[in-house]
Amino acid sequence: MLHPFPHEPRGETPLVEFRGVTCGYGGTTALVDVSVSIWEGEFVGLLGPSGAGKTTFLRAILGAVEIYRGQVLVEGRPHDRGRAPAGYVPQVETVDWNFPVTVEQVVLMGFAGRGWLPWASKEERERARAVMERLGIAHLAGRHIRALSGGQQQRAFLARALVSSPRLLLLDEPTAGVDIKTRDDILHLLHELNHDGTTIVLTTHEINAVAAHLPRVICINQRVVADGPPAQVFTPEVMSRTYGAPMTVVHHEGLVLVAERPHRYYEEHLARSRASEGDGDA
């Protein structure tokens, strides 16, 4: 297994450390024997198929899953539920859009322990306004959250996660269901936040569009399959073990591209077609 880091880690203690963690929900195991360290200032992508345990990994950092074996440490200490210095952006599809709140109210919910209250301090509103301006949604502050586009909704929930100035930002499929420009805008913004010092961990299904452009990728399928820079991690063997299907990996001009191998029935059909063409030429 690969474990290189894209840059020298900051500090002597990982910001987040999984030590032989097996965890899940209600007795059902989702992750098995995971040992991973995430250092302050890193930008890490969790890559794997549906049901691989990517969301569970994030929830384990938040203390929101059952730990059956091992430990999750935050800043070198076992942490209590909700005590991690983290902002969390859930999958957009899990949100109840019928809840009657404006964009500003959503952002104000991000203050730790505040919940949804009909009032806010002047300092909270000023901080919320500053974050919305940075994310380009200040003009939408009074709009109902369900009236926004998918990209705008994603920015609103990102603002909620950032308003309390967390050192660690956890995002679950932040580019799912958005167009190419919005996806690129979100990734550019995340890289800016990381450059400013925020540690970022995100999950994604998008191998070429997202994961291939991150400094570090952890491939997961209940267990950690590989961990390191995409250029080292993305091999046919690792991708096949991660996704359970044959994968082709192409290196071209510094880029790493991953593609699913054609199904064997397609290959057999192609072989028969070529054979038929050969018989016709004869």
Q: In what order do the strands lie in the sheet with 43-47?
A: 86-89, 168-172, 199-204, 43-47, 216-221, 223-228
How far is C-alpha 176 from the geometric centre of its chain's CA atoms? 10
What's the rounded Cα separation, in Å, for the pair 66 and 64? 7
The verdict on pTM exceeding 0.75 is yes
Q: How far apart are CA 18 and CA 3, in angstroms?
A: 14
Asked whether residue 159 carries a pLDDT value surpassing 70, the answer given is yes
207 with 71, same domain: the answer is yes
- Rounded Cα distance between 250 and 101, Å, is 46
DSSP 8-state class, residue 282: -
Are 77 and 119 in a shared domain? no
Q: Are residues 171 and 75 in the same domain?
A: yes
Whether 266 is in a domain gets the answer no
Boundary of a domain, candidates 137, 166, 195: 166
- Looking at the fold, whether 1 and 81 belong to one and the same domain comes out as yes
Q: What is the domain extent for residue 133? A: 96-166
d(CA 138, CA 179): 21
pLDDT tens column, 226-252: 999 999 999 999 999 999 989 999 987
At position 65, the amino acid (one-letter code) is: V
- State residue 56 phi and psi, 5-degree precision: -60, -40
Residues 183 and 234 in one domain: yes
Q: How far apart are CA 67 and CA 85, in angstroms?
A: 19
In terms of domains, do 75 and 197 share one? yes
Task: Inform me whether the pLDDT recorded for 93 exceeds 90.
Answer: no
Question: For the residues 164-169, what does the mean pLDDT come to?
Answer: 94
**Residue 261 pLDDT exceeds 60:** yes
Could you tell me which of 83, 82, 93, 89 has the C-alpha nearest to residue 107?
A: 89
Asked if residue 251 belongs to a domain, the reply is no
DSSP state of 143: S
pLDDT over threshold 90, residue 36: yes
The total domain count for the chain is 2
Same domain assignment for residues 66 and 187? yes
Are 257 and 208 a contacting pair, CB within 8 Å?
Answer: yes
Torsion of CA 9, 21, 215, 186, to 10 degrees: -120
Can you tell me which residue has the tokens 């109840």? Answer: 96
